[in-house]
Amino acid sequence: MGPTLERLEELSRSLPGRRLGVVGDLIADVYLFARPSRLSREAPVLVVQYLEEKVIPGSAANTAMNAAALGGKVRVLCAVGEDGPGKAVLETFRKAGLETSGVLALPGAETVTKTRILVGDPGRTPQQVIRLDRGTGEVISPDLEKRLLEKIEEADSEVEGWLVSDYEFGLVTEAIASRILRSARKGKYVVVDSRHRLGLFKGADALCPNQEELGEFLGRPLESREAILEGGREALEALKAKVLFLTLGNQGMAVFPRGKDPVFLPVVGPDQVTDVSGAGDTVAATILLARCSGADPVEAGWLATCAASVVVQKLGAATATPAELRKALKKAKPLLGKSREGKEMKK
């Protein structure tokens, strides 16, 4: 028996005001919009006319923005280059009301930036034609690591939970991961979204990999429901987590709570997806807010699935508002009884 709509709506009203700390790799997502003009005489390529440019917080920055959009009181702990994209992301943080005293400057370094060029006629959905990445994300210096550890120590007594967003761009060192996990051992909620280093975070409250990331950790692809069930259980034990939230793209989510059967949650909303960029950030942020609000793993999974169903309908790394989450929950009502335990899925 899954949660009721009334219970999920009650939990959604409890998300605002939760005090969270977000630690991780900050990336600036730059979207450059243009309209097609003509074919170039210089090479067999399209000439496009510049329209506008937007800088949107990405990765850990997007996770923080998602938590704030749902009402969380968010402290951001990360590092940023002293350049245009970095300053733009910081300004977005401040406008959204995020606490940024833990954002440290990287003298002489550039902010890791992903520039997407999108081309389309006005009034039509633009198509991404190329992406240009800048910044190597080198491991932070010992001095910067020391300063960040001090910021984490200062914030720990103020936050109810920590979210680690590890894109392997150099900020989350072993020492920083160890310090955050110390909070988990003391009973604080710690949710981890790590692209390639799940093994670094043994003992977290919750881990939020996607299907490919979990397969990489286990060293084998997870291509069937049976493989997913086996892999999820194996990873849960190996990583000593309380719960594993495995996102499955258009197949929904599998929730693996310790000591209980796994549960598969169906996808919420229409099949048409505009952009999956940042959906994992939304999932992780919502899960931490939900866990801090008293949600059990399956309830947290439903809230996260519904929040993600909102952002995938938007272009780029996006956020969901409380009103949008409530609307998505209502759409999910017919599905709430369709979540199934792993033992049923094998039939």
Q: Does 281 qualify as catalytic in the annotation? A: yes
Going 313 to 319 to 324 to 325, the CA torsion angle's sign is: positive
pLDDT value of position 315:
73
Catalytic option among 205, 275, 281, 296: 281
Give me 225's structure tokens: 């429901």
Q: What pLDDT, on the 0 to 100 scale, is given for residue 271?
A: 56
Residue written as token pair 């909070």: 183
As beta bridge partners, residue 297 has none
Going from N- to C-terminal start, the domains of the chain cover 5-28+58-115+136-339
Read off the amino acid at residue 299. Answer: E
Residues in CB range of 288: below 8 A, 6 or more apart: 20, 67, 161, 162, 163, 189, 191, 206
> What global pTM score does this model have?
0.92
CATH of span 5-28+58-115+136-339 = 3.40.1190.20
Calpha distance 211→279 (Å, rounded): 14
Compute CA 329 distance to the chain's CA centroid, rounded to the nearest angstrom.
Answer: 19
Q: What is the pLDDT tens value at each position of the chain, 347 positions in all? A: 689 999 999 999 999 999 999 999 999 999 999 999 999 999 999 999 999 999 999 999 999 999 999 999 999 999 999 999 999 999 999 999 999 999 998 888 899 999 999 999 988 889 999 999 998 777 889 999 999 999 999 999 999 999 999 999 999 999 999 999 999 999 999 999 999 999 999 999 999 999 999 999 999 999 999 999 999 999 999 999 999 999 998 889 999 999 999 999 999 976 555 456 678 999 999 999 999 999 999 999 999 999 999 998 887 678 999 999 999 999 999 998 776 665 554 44
How confident is the model at residue 122, as a pLDDT?
Answer: 86
Helices (H), the chain: 5-14, 60-69, 84-96, 142-156, 174-185, 211-218, 225-239, 279-292, 297-311, 322-332, 342-345
DSSP H or E stretch at residue 203 = none
pLDDT recorded at residue 270 = 64
